[in-house]
């Protein structure tokens, strides 16, 4: 698992790659915790390259939502993550966007 942070159009984007599980998801938790102490910019977790995630990952994302509130946004979920989010109903607790660009600048409601 690897996390590459970058700043894009005023948001912190955390691009996550690989498998997220109990052995390594603490790194994501620490990154979200750090982000909660830094400013008020959106924090986008890019899930496009995540191939696996377990229940500890879900807990870390929910804890991130508690710390960051509406600043936390999930983006571009991989097929695996899309299924996980759908099955668990995470999209009712966390905003999920089809792309990083839309997570940074959500479209206006029609």
DSSP 3-40: EEEEEETTEEEEEEEEEE-TTTTHHHHHHHHHHHTS-S
Is 50 among the domain residues?
yes
Is 53 domain-assigned? yes
Domain assignment present for residue 109? The answer is no
Check: CB of residue 53 under 8 Å from CB of residue 83.
Answer: no
Whether the predicted pLDDT of 71 surpasses 70 = yes
Asked if 3 contacts 27 with a C-beta cutoff of 8 angstroms, the reply is: yes
pLDDT of residue 29: 97
Identify the CA nearest to 50 among candidates 72, 71, 23, 78: 78
- Distance between CA 61 and CA 72 in Å, rounded? 9
Q: What CATH number does the domain containing 60 carry?
A: 3.30.750.24
Map tokens 């052995």 to a residue: 23
Domain count, the chain: 1
- Indicate the average pLDDT of the chain: 95
- pLDDT of residue 39 exceeding 90, the answer is no
Q: Is residue 110 part of a domain?
A: no
The share of the chain scoring above pLDDT 90, in percent, equals 92
Coil, helix or strand for 53?
A: strand
């Amino acid at each position: 698992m690897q996390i590459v942070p970058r700043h894009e159009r005023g948001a912190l984007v955390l691009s996550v790659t690989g498998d997220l599980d109990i052995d390594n998801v603490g790194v994501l938790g620490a990154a979200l915790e750090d982000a909660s102490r830094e400013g008020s910019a959106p924090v986008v977790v890019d899930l496009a390259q995540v191939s696996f995630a377990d229940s500890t990952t879900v807990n870390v994302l929910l804890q991130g939502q508690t710390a960051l509130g509406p600043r936390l946004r999930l983006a571009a979920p991989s097929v695996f993550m899309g299924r996980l989010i759908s099955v668990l109903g995470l999209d009712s607790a966390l905003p999920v966007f089809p792309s990083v660009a839309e997570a940074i600048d959500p479209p206006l409601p029609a």
